[in-house]
Amino acid sequence: MRRNFLIAILYTTVSTLLLGIGYPLLIAGLARAFFPVKANGSLIYSNGVLAGSKLIVQSFTGPRYFHSRPSAAGIGYDASASGGSNLGPTNQKLVDRISADVKSLSQEHPGTPVPIDLVTTSGSGLDPDITPAAAEFQVSTVAHARGLSEAEVRVAVRRHTSQRQFGFLGEPRVNVLELNRDLDNLSSSKK
């Protein structure tokens, strides 16, 4: 009995050291060596100051910026409280919020259908991307607020549109943080 107990403790200790410490350190080291940007969170810096991560949504306000999907994470766009609202399609609270968002966006762009991702949250509440249709919906507002032509803004949108991975996985998407940073740079270079 004592021998079996010692063997069990030895296996637990060795397994913990190899699989709980050694393996994660090896994988983290390989990731940092071969994919340093991704391994460190795909962080984006502006003049040496952290601007954000291209993997996690940020809240942008005002007409000068493209807006992300609504967020149900915490009090909104809270990376420490990732998660959806868990409200079903027949939940009146969800129906009322979406109806109000559609009405508000329709007033800004009369006669233009509102893209679904501008009024619905992602599963995590932290999705950094919007559809090309959602970006196109916002082009005129952003261009007008920045004093740029719609064509210039559309070129920036195309520049930050990622296609399906391997040509068939996922959907085309636009990273909102990268697009807004590019437009900030474009606007400041025009001054």
What is the residue type of 191? Answer: K
* pLDDT of residue 72 exceeding 70: yes
**What is the rounded average pLDDT of the residues 128-139?**
94
Give the SS3 label for residue 47: coil
What does pLDDT average to over the chain? 88
Contact 71, 121 (CB under 8 A): yes
- Express each pLDDT in 142-160 by its tens digit: 999 999 999 999 999 999 9
Tokens of 125: 């509440």
Residue reference for tokens 């996690």: 56
Contact 184, 60 (CB under 8 A): no
Around Cβ 180, how many Cβ atoms within 10 Å? 22
50 pairs with which residues across the strands?
A: 45
Contact 107, 140 (CB under 8 A): no
